[in-house]
Amino acid sequence: MPSSKRPLMSPEQAYSLSQHPNFKAADLDRYAVSEHFTWGDVFHERTTQEVRAAGKIIYLNAYRQAKLMERIRAYLRERFDAMATLKVTSWYRSPAANAAAKGATKSLHLYGLATDFYVPGYQSVAGNRQVQAALLAFKGTARFCLEITGGEWTHADSRTAAFAFRRDGHVLTGAEEVAFIHQYGRAA
């Protein structure tokens, strides 16, 4: 069922639900944080205990991140395919989950402000480079950070500065961004 068919739940309501004695993490799949993303996406593969332990600020941050993800989704649908969707692989991570994923010690996943995803049909390394090339051109308009992953997924986070970086921490220069777009971009 598309998220748009699920009832929207505010961050405060989702947090309150998570504190209910009979709550299970899977319950969050029934509620949308935005038109196309669920609270289950936010807490993808997190345990009930991890979800309960997340503070209310995580829910508020995730709501902010969901707005960014909606803009990214709309842009990619316009750029690649009107039917394109985003499949979330990681959003909020508890400290233990972040360590297991070998995430940065100050990863924005810890705060609900980062999302890893792929676009079905573009999840190969080559396809994902096309997605990232398109997002490089979009990030200045939407004001987000983009990780050039070198893999089959994309990372976008809600930092207020708009820059692209590699996993090793190198921030791409404008010339490197243009070269990446030229090498991997494709006409819409």
Residues 39-59: what's their mean pLDDT?
Answer: 97
pLDDT value at residue 120: 93
Domain limits at 47?
A: 3-184
Where is 114: in which H helix or E strand?
Answer: strand 114-118
Q: pLDDT exceeding 90 applies to what percent of the chain?
A: 82
Q: Which residues pair with 115 in a beta bridge?
A: 156
Mean pLDDT on 126-133: 94
Q: What pTM did the predictor assign? A: 0.93
Please state the domain count of the chain: 1
Q: How far apart are CA 74 and CA 78, in angstroms?
A: 6
How confident is residue 81, by pLDDT bands cut at 50, 70 and 90?
A: confident
CATH number, domain with residue 161: 3.30.1380.10
4: confidence class by pLDDT, cuts 50, 70, 90: low
Write down the residue that tokens 């986070």 correspond to.
157
